[in-house]
Amino acid sequence: MRISDELRQRATVSFEFFPPKDEIGFWDLYVTIEKLKPLAPSFVSVTWGAGGSTRRKTVELVARIRSDMRIEALAHITCAASSRRDIAAVADDLRARGLENILALRGDPPAGRTAFQSQADGFAHANELVEFLKDRHDFCIGGACHPETHPEASSPDMDLDFLARKVDAGCDYLVSQLFFDNQVFYRFRDRAAARGIHVPIIAGIMPILSVGQIKRFTELCGASIPRELLEKVEAVEDDVDAVRQLGMYHATEQCRDLLDNDAAGIHFYTLNRSTATRAIYQQIKARVDARAAHAAPADP
């Protein structure tokens, strides 16, 4: 199933996982996925470790989720630590295993490094990777976008110009970096449309489950936490349950509003856990179903 086809039918709901470090982590992840499966996600995705560290695990995991667990799965592929030959081999492997969807990214630098460095015979930016993958196989390709501007971009307009170039290279849809203020997402979507970017934009959502963790994540990716929300969670910082309740409530309200305002889909950054995502999904299910019911009928 191509994600672009799914996006034409309904607001997608998708879950992102990362490849665990060891066997116990894999068993835990399979349990998490089994718990999320009844929610009938449009697709799940598996990240490509920073610095290209999880290449083999990513491919094995997506193939297994798709063939054994019968859930549409896509691999993230990044430019990190990979030559064109390495990427070609991974793309051929994925295609041979019947996978049709890829999320193509530049990648984060490996732990301990601040700047991204491309391989000599590799790709420096995601648009080059998208073009290469599109030429090699008929993949449905997603790309990342950054509603609050990528931290390395020289300006929001330049970032948008490069995003337009990436879409022109062959992105069928975009998945956004996490954000906590929907107005930021709507303004970005309007600016993207004005710049001629008309592919569906899926909203990336991460419920706040720990104050320290979310501060680290937002600092890394350049997302901001609205002051009012930050003050609320900081006020109960030492009470794990209270932080989770606030974080889940905020994420649920975000998802409701996004579905009411035509977001193309919701992509949950699950951190390999299922409880918060399931609880939020129960609250938004009626809206997801309503969006599917109003979608245009499928092509014959």
Residues near ligand FAD (CB under 6 A) are 47-48, 50, 76, 78, 80, 105-108, 125-127, 144, 150, 152-153, 158-159, 162, 165-166, 175, 177, 204, 221
Smallest gap from residue 52 Cβ to ligand FAD (A): 8
Closer to ligand FAD at the Cβ: 216 or 286? 216
Closer to ligand FAD at the Cβ: 106 or 291? 106
Smallest gap from residue 107 Cβ to ligand FAD (A): 4
Smallest gap from residue 161 Cβ to ligand FAD (A): 8
Smallest gap from residue 177 Cβ to ligand FAD (A): 4
Q: Buried b vs exposed e over 245-259: b needs ≥16 C-beta within 10 Å?
A: ebbbbbbbebbbbbb
Smallest gap from residue 38 Cβ to ligand FAD (A): 24
Let me know if 152 is a catalytic residue: no
Closer to ligand FAD at the Cβ: 76 or 250? 76
Q: DSSP for the chain? A: --HHHHHHHS-EEEEEE---SSHHHHHHHHHHHHHHGGG--SEEEE---GGGTTHHHHHHHHHHHHHTS---EEEEEESBT--HHHHHHHHHHHHHTT--EEEEE--PPPTT--S--B-TTS-SSHHHHHHHHHHHS--EEEEEE-TT--TT-S-HHHHHHHHHHHHHHH-SEEEEEE-S-HHHHHHHHHHHHHTT--S-EEEEE-----HHHHHHHHHHHT----HHHHHHHHHTTT-HHHHHHHHHHHHHHHHHHHHHTT-SEEEEE-TT--HHHHHHHHHHHHHHHHHHHHSPPPP-
Smallest gap from residue 139 Cβ to ligand FAD (A): 15
Return the structure tokens found at 255: 């998802």
Would strands 201-205 and 140-145 be described as parallel, antiparallel, or unpaired?
unpaired
Closer to ligand FAD at the Cβ: 200 or 204? 204
Closer to ligand FAD at the Cβ: 201 or 259? 201
Catalytic residue from among 6, 16, 100, 148: 16
Closer to ligand FAD at the Cβ: 160 or 243? 160
What are the φ/ψ torsions at residue 157 (nearest 5 degrees)? -70, -40
Catalytic residues: 16
